[in-house]
Structure 1
Amino acid sequence: MRKLWVLLVGAFVMSVLAGCAESGEASKDDTVTLKVGAASVPHAEVLEYLSDDIANEGVKLEISILKDAVQTNQQTADGELDFNYFQHIPFLEQTNKESNLDLVSVGGIHIEPFGVYSKTIDSINDLPQNAEVAVPNDVVNFSRALLLFESNGLIELDDAKKNDFTIEDITKNEKNIQFIGVDSLLLVRSLDDVVASAINTNYALEGGYNPIEDALIIEGPESPYVNIIATTKEKEDDAAIQIVVKWLTSDKARKFFEEHYKGAVVPVF
């Protein structure tokens, strides 16, 4: 009888332990893993900085550094990525149009003022006649670069248009500036071959430039090019993605942007 009682107690203990193990596994399974495509600076940096806070709410991030902007949007649309964080709304809208995608913004995070840099001149007023200037080759940022040059009195654009400016829309160009379209990822490298380059701030930061100190001219804080979290319409209200957005628009994120980038990245929340 004593032997039987011992066996029964042992079985009960094993059952309890097994239940605890199953409970632990269930708790582990409650963690949601989100795959995100992000630019390295500042997007991936701030996500890494907030990753523990986000994980404490049950969301683990797998961050991939983007190599091609359009491909990253396609991967998001195809479900290979749950969301991406690298672009502004005008670029997203243009990509949706050109690639027949239907991605949406689920939150504006920050602005990266767009600037012009050079290795050969110290002032935009020193730009020589017929100077070759590299600008992003996508429609939206090409137009953005032309608008920056216009706002600084270097060219004039057709006032009948509001956006999507091209070379043909330049109505006045006294210095005969030669604007050359270059892939955004190569703009910093292009500085070895041209007089100046108009560079997105995240790429300028990656290249070791301080936009506030090194840019010859730079957009003001009123820039409409807010960097966003983008995903599919099906995932627009996803609870896990909303947790990420919550932390990216938190006081902790604001402090990170302000202390690490010194005005080169401006939070919009």
Structure 2
Amino acid sequence: MTSTRMSILKNFKVNIGPGKLLQEDFNKRGYIHPSRLALLHQYARLAGLRASLANHHDVFFKNSTLYIRHQTAHVNTNLTSALSSQPIHADFTVTYLGSSSLLCNTRLILENEQQCYSTCTAQCIGVDKQTRKPAAFDETVRNIYAYAVNGKRPVLSPLLETPQSTGQVIYNKKIIIREEHVDSNGHTNNAAYMKLCDTVFSSAITDGILCQEFLESPLRDYTIQYLGESVKGDEICFDMWQDSQNKYLIHFEAKKSDSIVIRSQFHLDNKLMSSL
């Protein structure tokens, strides 16, 4: 009986952000900005953790925090600006619990149509605020998510590759981390890195490194891996390049000095372009 109960995942319906997709969430072609999508999933995770941890939420986050190690999101390419101003909510589920890490899924759902328009899987690491090192979850947290202890751990994507050919064009841009990029822990927020990737991507189009056609290609999915930390005032050097096998797969690597802080990729859908 116990094993049956633990195999059943618990879903939490939560309200997020402004509760609507707004016009500014989309680019001029009507496709959602990757950074806005990442922010909506972040809102869903935060609300889901508060709902699932309930009375233990503030106790846990007094001495500990959760760092995102990896996240992958998939997007329904029908998610366009035509859907702006429609109410949305999210579903939150913890699918796996380890000693100091958990996996959670968030789903963005358009309430008027009851359709899921984006899903995201994120790996979160419990970290002690004082030592800045991974810390095992306490017994209360383990009891709350006991149903996920024996959950199937999804296979996460491997670390994103560096350029595979010396002939690949690499676009470089340096960005200074500002106050708007950092969270309450004083470190660059995970969704802010997506916004910086968005900035680099847009700059590459403006500077003629990428063709304008990329503005006409909706986002299919994104992956981002967090390998280091940065704080306000740090200079981050971004490299961006197209995949050698698929020009609609855009890679990013950001470094602080010689240390990699993130690797990311945007996978664009070229079905629109192939139909022209």
- Do both proteins adopt the same fold according to a TM-score greater than 0.5, normalized to the shorter chain? no
* Structure index of larger Rg: 1
Tell me the TM-score normalized by structure 1. Answer: 0.22
Tell me the TM-score normalized by structure 2. Answer: 0.22
